[in-house]
Amino acid sequence: MTRVDTTESLILDRIAARLRTELGLDARTCYVSVEPLAPVIPPGGPWFVSVSLRDGLFEPAEQSRLLAPGAAGNTTAAVDFTVTAYVRMELDSAAHAAGLLGVTARLADASRGLLERKRQILKALVGWDLLTAAGNEVLRSLLFATRSYRPVLVRSDAIPGLALGLLQVDFRAVYDWTAGRNAPALSTLTLAQLAGLSLEELAGLPLDPTEAA
């Protein structure tokens, strides 16, 4: 397999696809969301998962022809994303205390509790690469988790007696937006074009036209 450049759209799509496969979910119960917030009307099933994009960082040195002439124009991104697990809970009329007990029970449940769902999500993503449709790898380093958050209880305003227990885990994906060979090759430039370039710009150009594709 060959590592290729990619986009954030493909990264999110492949993360969601992997979670669906590993967790036995579908497009309705595992989806990409702009914000990691509980939906007003949750989908059916005992639990569901959302994937949300967070902040990212770029590597300035790799974008500089002066500092990295061999990789001029390359844009490496380290982007964080949040996976949120939601577990449905039915609450009785005893209000707050019952709700907390319900969360505690679901938290410790060995088969469907929030902590078990957290373990399943970690197992599905940590240490894995992401692949294109052609089977090529897209990450510069394997997926890794960066942070987890405490469980939260969210009561549904739309469905009386329903609450969602949710738990979030942050992950990071490191990848290249471009190959760094998007400049024209030296052998394809005219003398007039070459005369107009600085030494730094010349240093960043590939020699072979095939490297400029």
- Per-residue HEC secondary structure of 25-56 comes to CCCCCEEECCCCCCCCCCCCCCEEEEEEEEEE
- Is 99 a residue whose pLDDT tops 50? no
Select from 34, 28, 29, 26 the least CA-distant residue to 8.
34
pLDDT of residue 32: 93
Distance CA 213, CA 210 (A): 6
Cα 204 to the center of its chain, rounded Å: 31
What are the residue ranges spanned by the domains of the chain?
8-180, 183-213
pLDDT of residue 75: 82
In the chain, the amino acid numbered 92 is D
Q: Which of 21-25, 164-168, 180-184, 192-196 holds the top average pLDDT?
A: 21-25
Distance CA 120, CA 100 (A): 23
pTM higher than 0.75 for the full model? Answer: no
Q: Has domain 8-180 been given CATH number 3.30.2000.10?
A: yes
pLDDT of residue 101: 45
Give pLDDT tens digits for 102-117.
Answer: 455 555 565 667 888 9
Burial class (CB in 10 A: 0-12, 13-18, 19+), 92: exposed
Burial class (CB in 10 A: 0-12, 13-18, 19+), 10: middle
Give the model's confidence band at 100: pLDDT under 50 very low, under 70 low, under 90 confident, else very high.
very low
Distance CA 66, CA 25 (A): 48
pLDDT of residue 98: 42
Percent share of the chain, pLDDT over 90? 32
